């Protein structure tokens, strides 16, 4: 169990594959006075991920790993994470499933954010599927990670109303706004703050 000894005592790594808007919101959260986390490392499977720019802007060490071979990529990531004494990993738009071996090797907590009200709409195209099924609500979920896609114990969820004229794009935008608030809240919840 991770013991909280003071503000910013928990070293965090954020994993991204794309735009990194959740990464940005987590960095902003980490810079707040009483934040429990300090973001020490950004990891990406995609050298073109736009979110990597936040590493440069906020001077946080960023590493890209080639995922052609997941086993090798994960071994390198684990070594990096051990070097930096990372205690919590936040997946933020990281479009890979972590292997059972990875989960066994990393002793800390791993969280993920997903843009649906899990267990509904795991995987890709969540917004499109929710609208096509005439759902009245969608939303976002922060959950602990296990070796199955978008599964694992739910920490927090936020509901978002789907309007009559909703498109996948407008819904994604609306949900992202809530994601940026929900992820920091869920981290606080995990550490009983
Ligand atoms: C977010 O909507 C996140 O919930 C989703 O990817 C987007 C990343 O946006 N994650 C998943 O679908 C994971 N299954 P961002 O790069 O701007 O944070």
The CATH code of the domain that includes 67 is: 3.40.50.170
Mean residue pLDDT of the chain comes to: 95
Asked if residue 88 belongs to a domain, the reply is yes
pTM for the whole structure? 0.95
Tokens of 43: 């990891």
Has residue 73 got a pLDDT over 70? yes
Asked if residue 4 belongs to a domain, the reply is no
**pLDDT confidence of 1, banded at 50, 70, 90?**
low
Q: Give me the pLDDT at residue 193, please.
A: 75
Indicate the helix (H) or strand (E) that contains 44: strand 37-44
**Residue 150 CA, closest ligand 1 atom number:** 14
**pLDDT confidence of 8, banded at 50, 70, 90?**
low
* Percent of the chain surpassing pLDDT 70: 96
Distances from the Cα of 118 to the Cα of 56, 68, 137, 138, 139, angstroms: 33, 29, 12, 9, 9
* Percent of the chain surpassing pLDDT 90: 91
Asked if residue 2 belongs to a domain, the reply is no
The pocket around ligand 1, CB under 6 angstroms, is made up of 16, 18-22, 51, 92-93, 113-115, 150, 176, 179
Indicate the helix (H) or strand (E) that contains 185: helix 168-190
Number of domains in the chain: 1
CA-based nearest residue to 52, from 83, 94, 23: 23
Asked if residue 1 belongs to a domain, the reply is no
**Domain boundaries, position 112:** 10-190
**Residue 140 CA, closest ligand 1 atom number:** 4
Q: Where does residue 26 fall: left (phi above 0), alpha (psi -120 to 50 degrees), or beta otherwise?
A: alpha
Cβ–Cβ under 8 Å, residues 20 and 52: yes
Q: List pLDDT tens digits, range 29-51.
A: 999 988 999 999 999 999 999 99
CA-based nearest residue to 160, from 144, 148, 149, 171: 171
Q: From ligand 1's centre to the CA of 113, what distance in Å? A: 7
Cβ–Cβ under 8 Å, residues 149 and 123: yes
- Active site positions, annotated: 114
| CA angle (160, 191, 123) in 5-degree steps | 40
Neighbouring CB atoms inside 10 A of 71's CB total 10
Q: Give me the pLDDT at residue 9, please.
A: 86
Q: From ligand 1's centre to the CA of 5, what distance in Å? A: 31
The whole-angstrom separation of Cα 110 and Cα 121 is 20
**pLDDT confidence of 192, banded at 50, 70, 90?**
confident
Asked if residue 5 belongs to a domain, the reply is no
Asked if residue 23 belongs to a domain, the reply is yes
**Residue 16 CA, closest ligand 1 atom number:** 16
**pLDDT confidence of 181, banded at 50, 70, 90?**
very high
Q: List pLDDT tens digits, range 95-154.
A: 999 999 999 999 999 999 999 999 999 999 999 999 999 999 999 999 999 988 899 999
Asked if residue 39 belongs to a domain, the reply is yes
Q: Give, for ligand 1, the residue of 16, 89, 92 to mutate: max count of ligand atoms closer than 8 Å to Cβ.
A: 92
Q: From ligand 1's centre to the CA of 48, what distance in Å? A: 16
Q: Give me the pLDDT at residue 147, please.
A: 85
CA-based nearest residue to 23, from 1, 42, 45: 42
Has residue 165 got a pLDDT over 60? yes
């Amino acid at each position: 169990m991770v013991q909280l000894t003071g503000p910013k005592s928990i070293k965090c790594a954020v994993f991204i594959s794309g735009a990194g808007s959740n990464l940005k919101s987590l960095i902003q959260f980490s810079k707040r006075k009483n934040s429990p986390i300090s973001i020490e490392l950004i990891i990406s499977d995609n050298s073109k991920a736009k979110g990597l720019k936040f590493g440069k802007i906020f001077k946080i060490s960023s590493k890209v790993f080639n995922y052609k071979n997941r086993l090798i990529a994960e071994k390198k990531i684990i070594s990096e994470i051990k070097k930096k004494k990372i205690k919590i990993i936040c997946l933020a738009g990281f479009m890979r499933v972590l292997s059972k071996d990875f989960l066994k090797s990393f002793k800390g907590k791993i969280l993920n954010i997903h843009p649906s009200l899990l267990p509904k709409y795991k995987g890709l195209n969540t917004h499109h599927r929710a609208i096509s099924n005439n759902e009245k609500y969608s939303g976002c979920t922060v959950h602990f990670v296990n070796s199955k896609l978008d599964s694992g114990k739910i920490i927090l969820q936020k509901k978002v109303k789907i309007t009559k004229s909703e498109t996948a794009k407008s819904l994604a935008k609306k949900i992202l706004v809530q994601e940026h608030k929900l992820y920091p809240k869920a981290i606080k919840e995990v550490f009983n703050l």
